[in-house]
């Protein structure tokens, strides 16, 4: 395998680096990178703690880095998976459980509790993703693996690895707990090492910025990022709008809310706009067939957390739901027969009730749900394609309360 990063790195800094072999083994790469780390202030003891017993790359990291999704996700599927009864109910429980912490963070950073809860939900499902430790990776090993073997990410990974070693050296986290995603996102609110160094907060005052175990530290760190990137307290992230036929030409343009109103944009249900003098960008996520959104400055501050428009929209909408506001009013242009978020939960509930499904009711229609659908279809003498949809949901509803038997 050609190590492009090494080529680029040598080319960029001819004199300052030791010579690298282009097909360097992982352990030789580590030996070389040690000198780079030492130059940046990493002590030998820190290095040895970070890489104790590590001689091979993390193959799982390389596999995840190479994964290319087969299909692009439609906005409604993306939102269904993130804004649903489970995310809202758990968020409300967490709002109660961390009421004082959230109020203290709001007082200190000016970021509203619902917004932080929405980010926490999006990043790790309120920390529950961290419980699946088998899916987590040693941060130093994962980043070293990417720096050594992923040509697309090696520059990013080198920077992050140095930052990660600084975190370990600072004593914020013990080596055994220094876990993260394959790409180095860490803790409850999934910070990469450089962002952790820039924004990390010790909210609970124990002397460590522990976003892995301390919810106050993790949420305050998220609030610190938003505040330092210009979060405006009490201002909306955006408004859902009804689109007129000519609205397509305005997508991506910026005007004040008042000017948009003059052009004929209205909120669904006749609700009045607020903040008329604020500048807003018109975003279309599904052409002019679906709802449009006027997004304000805070939308773009959320994007400093994750640069995807889908992400910022989901955080905004989930925070609205957690503060008791309504969700998206207009329909997305879903293909006929496909299920909405709530219907996905009901489908799983009915499959469970009938004994076809024993998994979690989470609205996530994966292989276990497909298997349950096939079993139901078999029982019913239907085509066994395992595909969820309104037809299956209606069939399940029809047999609800009746003993299951093959339909003639
Ligand atoms: Ca702490």
Separation CA 21–CA 2 (nearest Å)? 10
C-alpha angle 231/237/242, rounded to 5°?
165
State what percent of residues in the chain have pLDDT above 70: 92
The residues, ordered by sequence, that sit 6+ positions from 399 with a Cβ below 8 Å of its Cβ are 354, 380
151 in any annotated domain: yes
Q: DSSP label at 255?
A: E
Measure 287 CA to ligand 1 centroid, in angstroms. Answer: 45
At 244 the pLDDT is: 82
Closest CA to 181 of 143, 127, 137, 214: 137
Task: Name the CA dihedral angle for 370, 376, 378, 380, rounded to a multiple of 10 degrees.
Answer: -140
**2 pLDDT above the threshold of 70:** no
Ligand 1 mean position to 201 CA, how many Å?
7
CATH number for the domain harbouring residue 359: 1.10.101.10
213 CA → ligand 1 middle, Å? 9
Model pLDDT for residues 182-211, shown as the tens digit of each residue: 999 999 999 999 999 999 999 999 999 999
Q: State residue 1's pLDDT score.
A: 45
pLDDT average, residue stretch 7-16: 46
| pLDDT higher than threshold 60 for residue 86 | yes
Of the candidates 266, 287, 322, which is a domain's last residue?
322
186 CA to centre of ligand 1 in angstroms: 15
pLDDT of residue 121: 98
pLDDT score at 231 = 98
Q: Are 328 and 291 in contact (CB under 8 A)?
A: yes
Average pLDDT for the chain: 92
Q: Say if residue 300 is in the same domain as residue 372.
A: no
Domain span at residue 68 reads 1-72+138-173
Among the residue ranges 6-20, 93-107, 151-165, the one predicted with the least confidence is: 6-20
CA-CA distance, 255 to 375, in Å (whole number)?
A: 54
Instruction: Compute, in angstroms, the gap from residue 95 CA to the centroid of ligand 1.
Output: 20
- Whether 282 and 164 map to the same domain: the answer is no
User: What separation in Å is there between the alpha carbon of 173 and the centre of ligand 1?
Assistant: 10
pLDDT tops 70 at residue 281:
yes
Query: Is residue 254 a part of any domain in this protein?
Result: yes
Q: For 272-290, give the DSSP string.
A: PP--TTSEEEEEESBTBTS
State the average pLDDT over residues 265-280.
95
Question: What pLDDT, in 10s, does the model give residues 284-330?
Answer: 999 888 999 999 999 999 999 999 999 999 999 999 999 999 999 99
pLDDT digits (tens, 9 = 90+) for 330-359: 999 999 999 999 999 999 999 999 999 999
Spatial contact of 197 and 166, defined as CB atoms under 8 Å apart: yes
Nearest C-alpha neighbor of 191 from the set 151, 169, 224: 224
pLDDT category of residue 404 using cuts at 50, 70 and 90: low
Cα–Cα distance measured from residue 78 to residue 19, given in angstroms and rounded to the nearest whole number: 46
Could you tell me if residue 207 is inside a domain? no
Distance between CA atoms of 291 and 295, rounded to whole angstroms?
13
Q: How close is the Cα of 341 to the center of ligand 1, in Å?
A: 37
Residue 328 lies in a domain: no
d(CA 108, CA 20): 48
- pLDDT > 60? residue 19: no
**Residue 146, domain member (yes or no):** yes
pTM for this prediction: 0.89
**125-175: per-residue pLDDT in tens?**
999 999 999 999 999 999 999 999 999 999 999 999 999 999 999 999 999
Residue 287 lies in a domain: yes
Taking the centre of ligand 1 as the mean of its atom positions, its distance from the CA of residue 54, in whole angstroms, is 28
Q: What's residue 246's pLDDT? A: 83
Q: Report CA-CA distances (Å) from 362 to 260, 339, 346, 365.
A: 39, 14, 10, 8
Give 69's pLDDT tier (boundaries 50, 70, 90): confident
Rounded to the nearest angstrom, the distance between the alpha carbon of 224 and the centre of ligand 1 is 14
pLDDT surpasses 70 at 21: no
The CA 89 to ligand 1 mean position distance, Å, reads: 27
**28 in the same domain as 163:** yes
Residues 27 and 149 reside in one and the same domain: yes
How far, in Å, from the CA of 345 to the mean position of ligand 1? 37
- In terms of Cβ atoms closer than 10 Å to its own Cβ (0-12, 13-18, 19+), residue 95 is middle
């Amino acid at each position: 395998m050609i190590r492009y990063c090494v080529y680029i790195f040598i080319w960029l800094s001819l004199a300052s680096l030791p010579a690298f072999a282009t097909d360097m083994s992982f352990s030789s790469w580590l030996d070389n990178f040690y000198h780079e780390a030492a130059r940046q202030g990493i002590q030998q003891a820190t290095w040895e703690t970070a890489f104790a017993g590590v001689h091979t790359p993390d193959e799982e990291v390389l596999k995840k880095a190479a994964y290319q999704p087969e299909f692009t996700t439609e906005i409604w599927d993306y939102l269904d998976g993130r804004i649903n009864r489970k995310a809202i109910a758990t968020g409300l429980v967490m709002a109660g459980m961390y009421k004082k912490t959230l109020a203290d963070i709001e007082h200190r950073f000016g970021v509203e509790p619902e917004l932080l809860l929405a980010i926490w939900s999006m990043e790790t499902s309120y920390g529950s993703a961290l419980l699946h430790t088998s899916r987590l990776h040693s941060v130093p090993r994962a980043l070293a693996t990417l720096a050594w073997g992923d040509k697309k990410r090696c520059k990013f990974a080198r920077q992050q690895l140095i930052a990660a070693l600084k975190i370990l050296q600072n004593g914020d986290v013990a080596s055994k707990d220094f876990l993260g995603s394959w790409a180095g996102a860490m803790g409850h609110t999934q910070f990469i090492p450089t962002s952790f160094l820039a924004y990390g907060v010790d909210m609970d005052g124990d002397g460590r910025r522990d976003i892995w175990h301390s919810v106050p530290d993790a949420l305050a760190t998220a609030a610190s990022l938003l505040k330092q990137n210009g979060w405006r307290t009490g201002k909306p992230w955006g408004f859902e709008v009804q689109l007129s036929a000519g609205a397509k030409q305005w997508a991506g343009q910026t005007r004040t809310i008042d000017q948009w109103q003059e052009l004929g944009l209205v909120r669904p249900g006749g609700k009045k706009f607020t903040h008329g003098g604020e500048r807003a960008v018109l975003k279309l996520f599904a052409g002019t067939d679906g709802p449009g959104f006027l997004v304000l400055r805070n939308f773009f501050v959320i994007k400093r957390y994750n640069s995807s428009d889908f992400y910022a929209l989901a955080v905004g909408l989930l925070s609205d739901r957690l503060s008791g506001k309504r969700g998206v009013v207009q329909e997305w242009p879903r293909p006929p027969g496909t299920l909405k978020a709530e219907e996905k939960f009901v489908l799983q509930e009915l499959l469970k009730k009938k004994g076809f499904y024993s998994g979690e009711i989470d609205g996530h229609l994966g292989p276990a749900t497909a298997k349950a659908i096939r079993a139901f279809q078999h029982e019913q003498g239907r085509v066994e394609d395992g595909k969820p949809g309104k037809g299956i949901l209606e069939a399940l509803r029809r047999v609800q309360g009746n003993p299951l038997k093959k339909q003639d």
